[in-house]
Structure formats: C-alpha cells, structure tokens
Chains A and B, each alone.
Chain A
Amino acid sequence: MNDQDDDQRHMRFDSLAREAVPLLARYLRRRTDPETADDVLGDTLVVMWRRFDDVEDLPQGSRLPWCYGVARGCLANARRANDRRRGLVRRLAAQPVQRSPSGPHNDTEQHDDELYAALETLSDTDREVLRLWAWEQLEPREIGVALGISANAASIRLHRATERLRGRLGVTRKTHPRAGHVVPRQESETSP
C-alpha cells in the first residue's frame, strides 16, 4: 500500500471516527464513570482503526452499530481488569447496589425510580439490549450488529427483554413503592 492509499484510508477513518466519537462517548458514559469512559473510548478507537478494513466491508448502516459492539467489548474487558485490580468482584457481588454519589444517577431531579429498580432485576444481556434500543436508539438489526448476533435473534431478545421489563415493572410497583436507591448494576460497577 503506498502513501497515497494510506492517506486516503486515514481520511476515511477520520470521517467515521468523527461521527462515532460523540456517540461512543455517550454510550460509555451511560455505563461507567468518566475516567473509565475516557480510557475505553481510546481503546475503542484503536480497535476501530486496526479493524478498519473490516468496517469498510460492512454496509453503511452497520458501521456505527459495529463501533458500539467494539466499545461494548472494550468496556467489558476494562471492567474485568478494573475489578481484578481492585479485588472488588466478590464484595460487589455480595452487596446490594447502592446509588453512588459520583455515578451517572446522582441527580436529584426526575429519575424514574421504578424503572431503574425494574432494570436492576434483569440480566446484563436484557439490560444491554434495552439500553441499545432506547438510549442508543438502535433498531433490532443494528442491535444484532452491535452484539454480534443475527437481526432475528436480536429481535427476539429485544421482545423478551421488553416483556420481562414490563413484568418487573408490574411487580416493582407493588413491592418497591420507593425503590429509589437502586440503579442498574452495571452502571455503578465501575463508579469510583
């Protein structure tokens, strides 16, 4: 590959990355603390660049969902490394999750406590599918790309996750009238 090809490849990557960076920054901040989000954004860009040939083979509409998939994997690995370093895994697993003063949900205004409480009872997979759908505003086909599964499988997972969330909302309304001190587990796992 000559220098001209290199430059053009670089420019095409730059174009994708400029579009992706703000979206990925939001994706990560929804799920972790600012410092981890910043580190993982760097990781994600490195992987995107390294795998850029793969990205260019994808249809246009699958490229950003693919980037979310990379960010998801990098975040999961960073969490494992963080957990390992801090030796917190078992302690976290053994304790109920409390609202973190510096976590993403430390605002005092308008939070849907019942919804957070219901999300907390779901599996990590269900939560991620729901967040990709409602927060990243991905459609099932795009969720499939981000999770590395087929569009049909993503559609089924989404359907089941929404059904389970509805079921839990009914339950939490009855049993947790003021369940405001619980946040989705993943979001507080790496809070400082």
Chain B
Amino acid sequence: MTHHEQHPRRQDELRARLAAADPARPGGPAHVVDESPDVVSTRIEEAVMTTRVTHNPTRSSGDGSGARPNASRSRWLAAAAVIVLVTAAAAAAVVGGVGDEARDSRSGRTVALTVPGGDTMASCLPFDVGFLREMPLAFSGTATAVTDDEVALEVDRWYKAGATQREAASVTLSVPGGAASVALDGVEFTEGERYLVTATDGQVNGCGFSGRATPELTAAYQEAFTG
C-alpha cells in the first residue's frame, strides 16, 4: 500500500475540493476555450518548422541552416532554435577565445560555463550516445544556488574533464540576459536537485545532452563515458 492510498476517502474529498477550485473549470476565471483545429494545426506547424531536426548531423553542421524561425512568434520561439552543439563562432565570443572546454577560475576551483542564450540560431542534433561520448566536458552535480542569472552546481563526479578541471569542486552556469527557456529543453534548475551536464567550448549542451539526472540520462552517461 502506498502512502497515497492510506486514507482513500479523505484523499478523494480533498482532491474534489481542490478540483472545485480549479481556475480552469468551466466558468472559472482561467477557463480555456479549445482552439479550433485549424489554429492548433498552425501552432503545431510553427513548432515543427522552427526546429527542423537535423537528421544527418556532422560535427560542423550547427550553423543554423536547419532553423526556420517564424517571425510572427515571440522571442521565445527564437530561443527555441538555439543550438548547443558546435556553434563555433558564438562559442568563441562567449568564452573570449579561450581554447579549453571551459574557463577555469584558478582561484576558486570553479569551472565557469555558459548556458546558450536566445540569440544563437540553429537546430538540434538528435540525441545519440556516440555524440555524448565526444563531449569534452561532462559531470554530475547538485544545484546549490539558483539565482536569476547563475546556477551553482556542486560536482560529485567528473565523467570527462581536463586535469585542472577535475580539481574543481563546483561549476557555475551563467545564463545570459536572453531567454534560455527552451535552450535546455525546458530543464529547470532547482536547488537540491541533481543534474548531468555536458559542455562544448564553454557552452552547456542542451538538446537532451544535459538535464536532470533521471535514470535514463544517467544510464546514457554511464554508457558514453564509462562503457
């Protein structure tokens, strides 16, 4: 018996009371009238056209040629097409030409990475353990501080890193002023939660290559870096 099932009647009553207070109930203040099938079709098509998946990726393909943003949507859809892998020019700008995978804060033993902002247009490479294996930097860690523009992670394991980086006990991810809403596939950083992160040229890789330490992603990291 689960905790949830211990008092079924009390649970049912509470659930019904909450449901009756649902703002989206019919007649409620946030009631949503379903959009017409045509409007839904348009929305779906916008999403598909904005992020045309690159099916035959190469290591130098992240130039944005696959993205076809619809100018009528907000900046959020512009952020949607952010790439993560191999945006050589953008990455160089972010890390100021530092050739290593990440800048190394020599004083604080902290590795600093950047989450891609909403200004880098390109499409996503499909998730593949083979690509994951090639990431120059990979670690797992727990978010210890989340602010508006920075996430601090305490590293518990370096899957892959340079010798200097391995000495670092923490990593900071800076989130530039732009929107990172979908740059990381909706990954939400929460204090106390554990994450798996890869980075290339100082930029965190989204598109499923970084995220919450779910059993599935953990297994993929194990396969890629310890297999």
Question: Residues of A with Cβ closer than 8 Å to B?
Answer: 1, 6, 10, 13-14, 17-18, 21-22, 25-26, 29-30, 39-51, 53-54, 69-74, 76-78, 80-81, 83-84, 89, 103-107, 109-112, 115-116, 130-131, 133-135, 137, 140, 148, 152, 155-156, 158-160, 162, 165-166, 187
- Whether A21 and B14, one on each chain, are in contact in the complex, defined by CB atoms closer than 8 angstroms, is no
User: B201-222, CB under 8 A of A: which get 1 and which 0?
Assistant: 0000001100010100000000
B30: chain A residues at CB < 8 Å are 26, 29-30, 104
Among residues of A, the one whose C-beta sits closest to the C-beta of B207 is A50
- Whether B11 and A162, one on each chain, are in contact in the complex, defined by CB atoms closer than 8 angstroms, is yes
Question: Given contacts A13-B48, A81-B179, is CB(A70)–CB(B185) below 8 Å?
Answer: yes
**Dominant secondary structure of chain B at its interface with chain A:** loop
- Whether B3 and A159, one on each chain, are in contact in the complex, defined by CB atoms closer than 8 angstroms, is yes
**Dominant secondary structure of chain A at its interface with chain B:** helix
- Whether B182 and A46, one on each chain, are in contact in the complex, defined by CB atoms closer than 8 angstroms, is yes
B187: chain A residues at CB < 8 Å are 73
Among residues of A, the one whose C-beta sits closest to the C-beta of B11 is A162
B53: chain A residues at CB < 8 Å are 49-50
The reply to whether the CB of B145 lies closer than 8 angstroms to some CB of chain A is no
- Whether A42 and B24, one on each chain, are in contact in the complex, defined by CB atoms closer than 8 angstroms, is no
Question: Given contacts A72-B186, A84-B149, is CB(A30)–CB(B23) below 8 Å?
Answer: yes
- A50: min CB distance to chain B, Å: 5
Once bound together, how far apart are the Cα atoms of A54 and B220, in whole Å? 13
Q: Which of B29, B76, B214 has the most CB of A within 10 A?
A: B76
User: B49-77, CB under 8 A of A: which get 1 and which 0?
Assistant: 01101011000000000000000011011
The B2-41 residues at the A interface (CB cut-off 8 A) are 2-4, 6, 10-11, 14-15, 17-24, 27-30, 32, 34-35, 37, 40-41
Question: Given contacts A51-B208, A107-B29, A112-B17, is CB(A46)–CB(B40) below 8 Å?
Answer: no
- A71: min CB distance to chain B, Å: 8
Q: How many interface residues does B have (CB within 8 Å)?
A: 64
Question: Given contacts A53-B127, A73-B187, is CB(A30)–CB(B22) below 8 Å?
Answer: yes
- Whether A42 and B208, one on each chain, are in contact in the complex, defined by CB atoms closer than 8 angstroms, is no
Other than the given A26-B30, A104-B23, A166-B14, 7 more pairs (CB < 8 A) read A21-B40, A42-B76, A43-B186, A89-B148, A111-B21, A134-B22, A135-B19
- Whether B185 and A42, one on each chain, are in contact in the complex, defined by CB atoms closer than 8 angstroms, is no
- Whether A44 and B186, one on each chain, are in contact in the complex, defined by CB atoms closer than 8 angstroms, is yes
- Whether B29 and A42, one on each chain, are in contact in the complex, defined by CB atoms closer than 8 angstroms, is no
- Whether B55 and A73, one on each chain, are in contact in the complex, defined by CB atoms closer than 8 angstroms, is no
- Find A46's partner among B4, B22, B80, B126 (CB 8 Å cutoff): B80
Question: Given contacts A42-B43, A44-B186, is CB(A30)–CB(B24) below 8 Å?
Answer: yes
- Whether B32 and A148, one on each chain, are in contact in the complex, defined by CB atoms closer than 8 angstroms, is no
- Whether A165 and B14, one on each chain, are in contact in the complex, defined by CB atoms closer than 8 angstroms, is yes
- Whether B32 and A22, one on each chain, are in contact in the complex, defined by CB atoms closer than 8 angstroms, is yes
Once bound together, how far apart are the Cα atoms of A48 and B29, in whole Å? 28
